[in-house]
Amino acid sequence: MSWKKHAYDDIPGTYVFDGKTAHSAFGLNKLLYSLNREANRQEHARDPAAYADTFGLSVDQKKALVEENFLDLLRLGANIYYLAKLAVPKGFTMQDTGAAFQGITTAEFQDKLDAKALDLDEKLVKAGGFWRG
């Protein structure tokens, strides 16, 4: 069995969720999907390791889950939207997870986002026809 290469494999810092990933991390994402239900969130919170075992996670996936290591979870196949079902109820925002992926603080991550707005008005004028309030 060999998985073919894709053009998107070369985008830096990016883990495109495709068949190869979905196949290798089906149990992990099934666990994350189960967190849609409050009863499952509570069961997971009581004993994350035991909860991981019921979904047949690999040793590495289980370790990353218990440690809440978001970058490792992503590398081990978690889909980002499913990962949000773990992170958001615990009080993490998508800025927190983005910062964790980059190994910077949330404030630093937010500053980078805010910087996108610095020359926004100028760009809207140039592009033409945009509502400007």
What whole-number distance in Å separates Cα of residue 19 and Cα of residue 40? 26
CB of 133 to another protein, least distance (A): 6
x/- track of binding to another protein for residues 34-53 (CB under 8 A): -xxxx--x------------
Query: How far does Cα 27 stand from its chain's mean position?
Result: 16
Q: Is 91 in the site for another protein (CB under 8 A)?
A: no
Q: b/e string for 6-37 if b means 16 or more Cβ within 10 A?
A: eeeeeeeeebebeeebeeebebbbebbebbee
The span of 50-58, 59-67, 90-98 binding another protein (CB under 8 A) equals 90-98
The span of 45-53, 55-63, 115-123 binding another protein (CB under 8 A) equals 115-123
Judged by CB under 8 A, the residue of 1, 19, 59, 107 near another protein is 19
The angle formed by the CA atoms of residues 75, 40 and 54, to the nearest 5 degrees, is: 60
CB of 51 to another protein, least distance (A): 14
What whole-number distance in Å separates Cα of residue 22 and Cα of residue 17? 7
Instruction: Indicate the DSSP class of residue 41.
Output: H
Q: Which residues bind another protein (CB under 8 A)?
A: 6-8, 11-19, 22, 26, 29-30, 32-33, 35-38, 41, 71, 74, 79-86, 88-89, 93-95, 97-98, 101-102, 109, 112-114, 116-117, 120, 123-124, 127-131, 133
